[in-house]
């Protein structure tokens, strides 16, 4: 209980560093004589244990003649047994250890015994550990909680996606240690790798690179397209356990497929399992700046359609991790939460990983601090420049200093609510401090001091405008017309999308507007698909007049063009006859499914049968096939449940009842997902409290 490892389903002893644990030695012939007998313990980890590297420790009872930071002390001495307290130092390498004992008796004989194996983890409860977190509610949330939410959707419609982290489930700790041993660091120099496993900075970079499979046989193969026929669509996953167990069962072959939220969820599972406080973060409108100028260039044609940009993109949302640790490798004040991003985007020191980057360093624009701080800064605080491409020429429409990095979100402590932590990453948009930090970061990048993704010779694709301290004048200010899209109904999947374009003439002159409207699907990483709807409108406005232009996109128009991400971008490119300026306005719509309803029938008690009712429906006005329901929940189901439903008729509602036997008490969560040939991720969840058996 003192080591907070009782939740872990495992046969061996599991302890945390910096905290004592007791073992009992039993003797056959006589009692231990403390003044005459000498007991020496040996603890070894890795394939080549070494005293100098810290992977081998030799220490005696009561510390006699022992320079080792490991400690052993006598607790009780009985006629045929000896209880001993052992303690690993708070900086010891984590991993699996072999414990041996040498007994040097007064009779002159030396006997050696192999006592067995134990696993040593990081200890956020120990003030001497680099991952010490001085808040019990935070430790319970960021280390002990085995479920949570990952926020998806868009900044105007943020939805929680339930997730089963399952870090204490059977075999997961074995798989996490196996993951360390499969890394390129271990393969290249196993002795050095094991010696460095006492550092959370080092461990986090190793794990970060191993979650993706770009450099090695990592856990997940990423894919950002529409064809997932040779694997699992990332939207279908509801937990980490099935993914990690599949990776292990196939001889550590990468699992197909993951995207950013799946990478971050797996990383959260591994890091919490190892004892490092970790949370999952979502950044809405996340920049991906490849050339290091802190500018995201977006290109549009004269219909308002966004064009694919192979370099810079704005992801509708992007998900990463924060891990809590001291940063003795940085100047004082930059410890605490660190960004780690296992989604393979750019290389860091030759490998696809990102971080740890200090959140405070990001906020202060200290982009030259290790690791990859400049890249993370651009994800939350780059500027966006929109260009019109027409007749082989590019016309700059406007520069937006506010659009990148919104509603940075994570699950709250002790509740299912969302915490907005944007202020941890940047000063308020539009404030003098925010622009000052942006300029500081840009200057550091220009002088080539960054040691992260960006090199001194990085060149911008376009010259950086001189007046960086203030945003450019928007075309709507020049033309003096305000434009905005507004939905008339909730955007429910299977129904027509009804919306209006609101136009307001802010001048005292007559305005004659030509409006090119378009709609296209987007992937969540910002990649556009071809337009499926276009229209042209002519709007005449008297001085200071407001008008609404109604629009409708039918289900039959968009149904065949949707990606799994269910994102539609509607755009309007507006021009006024007497002005060369053009106004671009757009809105991203996330189509909504009805949620799965889960009812727990009766009281939930450990080791007592429990019935769970799952109610789901087909929201479409057409038949769907190949329906599969998956249900899981740590401490409730021993493995993920898969129920083949088959065909669901249009608008049909159905239910099934599953039976299980809870095996862990406390607050638990059930996660469910329904997929078919027409949709992949209708989800639901239910929090339940499991009582101990009577």
Radius of gyration, CA atoms only, the chain: 29
Rounded Cα distance between 220 and 263, Å, is 7
Rounded Cα distance between 298 and 315, Å, is 12
**Residue 549 is a catalytic residue:** no
- The string of DSSP letters for 301-348 reads -TTSPEEP-SS-EEEEEEEEEEEEE--TTS-TT--EEEEE--S-SS-B
Three-class DSSP category at 198? helix
Q: Which of 193, 341, 368, 681 is catalytic?
A: 341
Rounded Cα distance between 320 and 208, Å, is 10
Contact assessment for residue 290 and residue 346, using Cβ atoms and an 8 Å cutoff: yes
- The string of DSSP letters for 358-376 reads EHHHHHHT-TTSTTTHHHH
Q: Is 535 annotated as a binding residue?
A: no
Q: Is 544 annotated as a binding residue?
A: no
**Residue 65 is a catalytic residue:** no
Contact assessment for residue 238 and residue 673, using Cβ atoms and an 8 Å cutoff: yes
- Which of 559-589 are b and which e, b meaning 16 or more Cβ less than 10 Å from the residue's Cβ? beebbbbbbbbbbbbbbbeeeebbbbbbbbb
Contact assessment for residue 278 and residue 267, using Cβ atoms and an 8 Å cutoff: yes
Residues 6+ apart with CB under 8 A from 361: 330, 334, 367, 369, 373
- The string of DSSP letters for 453-479 reads S--TT---SSPPPS-TTSPPPPHHHHH
The encoded tokens of residue 680 equal 């992949």
Residues 6+ apart with CB under 8 A from 245: 171, 175
The encoded tokens of residue 503 equal 């136009």
Residues 6+ apart with CB under 8 A from 115: 23, 25, 99, 100, 101
- Which of 63-94 are b and which e, b meaning 16 or more Cβ less than 10 Å from the residue's Cβ? eeebebebbbeeeeeeeeebebebbbbbebbb
Q: Is 417 annotated as a binding residue?
A: no
Burial classification of residue 511, based on how many CB atoms lie within 10 Å of its CB (0-12 exposed, 13-18 middle, 19 or more buried):
buried
Q: Which of 318, 453, 524, 549 is catalytic?
A: 318
Cis before 371 (ω within 30): yes
DSSP 93: P
**Residue 318 is a catalytic residue:** yes
Q: Is 599 annotated as a binding residue?
A: no
Q: How crowded is residue 677: how many other Cβ atoms within 10 Å of its Cβ? A: 11
Q: Which of 87, 208, 260, 386 is catalytic?
A: 260
Going by the annotation, the residues of the binding site for Ca(2+) are: 381, 383, 429, 434
Which amino acids are annotated catalytic? 260, 318, 341
Going by the annotation, the residues of the binding site are: 381, 383, 429, 434
């Amino acid at each position: 209980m003192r080591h907070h490892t009782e939740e872990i389903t495992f046969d061996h002893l599991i302890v945390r560093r910096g905290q004592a644990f007791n073992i009992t030695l039993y003797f056959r012939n006589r009692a231990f004589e403390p003044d005459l007998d000498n007991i020496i313990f040996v603890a070894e980890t890795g394939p080549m244990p070494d005293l100098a590297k810290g992977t081998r420790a030799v220490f005696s009872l009561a510390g006699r003649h022992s320079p080792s930071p490991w400690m052993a002390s006598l607790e009780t001495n009985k006629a045929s047994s000896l209880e001993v307290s052992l303690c690993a130092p708070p900086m010891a390498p984590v991993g699996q250890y072999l414990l041996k004992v040498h007994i040097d008796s007064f009779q002159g004989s030396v006997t050696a015994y192999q006592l067995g194996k134990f696993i040593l983890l990081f200890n956020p409860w120990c003030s001497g550990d680099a991952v010490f977190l001085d808040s019990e509610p935070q430790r319970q949330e960021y280390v002990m909680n085995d479920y949570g939410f990952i926020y998806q959707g868009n900044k105007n419609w943020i939805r929680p996606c339930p997730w089963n982290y399952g870090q204490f489930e059977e075999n997961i700790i074995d798989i996490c240690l196996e993951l360390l041993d499969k890394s390129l660091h271990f393969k290249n120099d196993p002795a050095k790798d094991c010696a460095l496993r006492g550092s959370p900075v080092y461990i986090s970079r190793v794990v970060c690179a191993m979650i993706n499979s770009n450099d090695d046989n990592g856990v997940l193969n990423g894919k950002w397209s529409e064809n997932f026929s040779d694997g699992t669509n990332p939207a279908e996953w509801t937990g980490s356990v099935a993914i990690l167990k599949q990776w292990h069962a196939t001889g550590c072959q990468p699992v197909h497929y993951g995207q950013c939220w799946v990478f971050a969820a797996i990383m959260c599972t591994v890091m919490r399992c190892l004892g490092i406080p970790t949370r999952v973060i979502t950044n809405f409108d996340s920049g991906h700046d490849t050339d290091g100028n802190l500018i995201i260039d977006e290109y549009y044609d004269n219909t308002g359609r966004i064009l694919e940009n192979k370099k810079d993109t704005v992801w509708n949302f992007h998900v990463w991790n924060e891990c809590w640790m001291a940063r003795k490798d940085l100047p004082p004040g930059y410890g605490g939460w660190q960004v780690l991003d296992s989604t393979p985007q750019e290389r860091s020191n030759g490998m696809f990983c990102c971080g740890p980057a200090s959140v405070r360093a990001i906020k202060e624009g200290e982009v030259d601090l290790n690791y990859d701080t400049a890249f993370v800064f651009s994800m939350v605080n780059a500027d966006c420049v929109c260009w019109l491409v027409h007749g082989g020429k590019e016309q700059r429409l406007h520069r937006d200093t506010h659009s990148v990095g919104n509603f940075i979100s994570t699950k709250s402590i002790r509740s299912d609510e969302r915490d907005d932590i944007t202020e941890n990453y940047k000063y308020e948009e539009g404030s003098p401090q925010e622009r000052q930090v942006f300029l500081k970061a840009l200057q550091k990048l220009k002088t080539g001091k960054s040691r992260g993704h960006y090199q001194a010779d990085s060149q911008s694709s376009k010259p950086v405008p001189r007046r960086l301290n203030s945003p450019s004048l928007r075309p709507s200010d020049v033309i003096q017309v305000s434009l905005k899209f507004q939905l008339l109904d909730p955007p429910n999947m299977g129904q027509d999308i009804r919306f209006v374009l609101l136009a307001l003439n802010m001048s005292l002159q007559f305005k004659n507007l030509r409006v090119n409207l378009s709609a296209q699907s987007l992937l969540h990483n910002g990649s556009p698909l071809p337009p499926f709807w276009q229209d042209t409108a002519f709007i005449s406005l008297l001085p200071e007049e407001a008008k609404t232009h109604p629009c409708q996109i039918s289900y039959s128009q968009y149904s065949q063009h949707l990606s799994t991400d269910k994102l539609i971008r509607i755009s309007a490119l507006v021009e006024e006859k007497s002005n060369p300026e053009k106004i671009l306005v757009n809105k991203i719509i996330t189509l909504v499914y009805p949620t799965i309803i889960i009812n727990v029938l009766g009281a939930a008690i450990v080791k007592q049968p429990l019935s769970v009712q799952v109610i789901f429906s087909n929201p479409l006005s057409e038949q769907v096939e190949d329906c599969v329901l998956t249900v899981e929940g740590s401490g409730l189901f021993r493995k993920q449940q898969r129920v083949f439903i088959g065909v669901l008729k249009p608008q049909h509602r159905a239910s099934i009842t599953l039976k299980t036997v809870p095996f862990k008490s406390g607050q638990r969560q059930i996660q469910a997902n329904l997929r078919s040939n027409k949709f992949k991720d209708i989800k639901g969840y239910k929090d339940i409290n499991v009582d101990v058996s009577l």
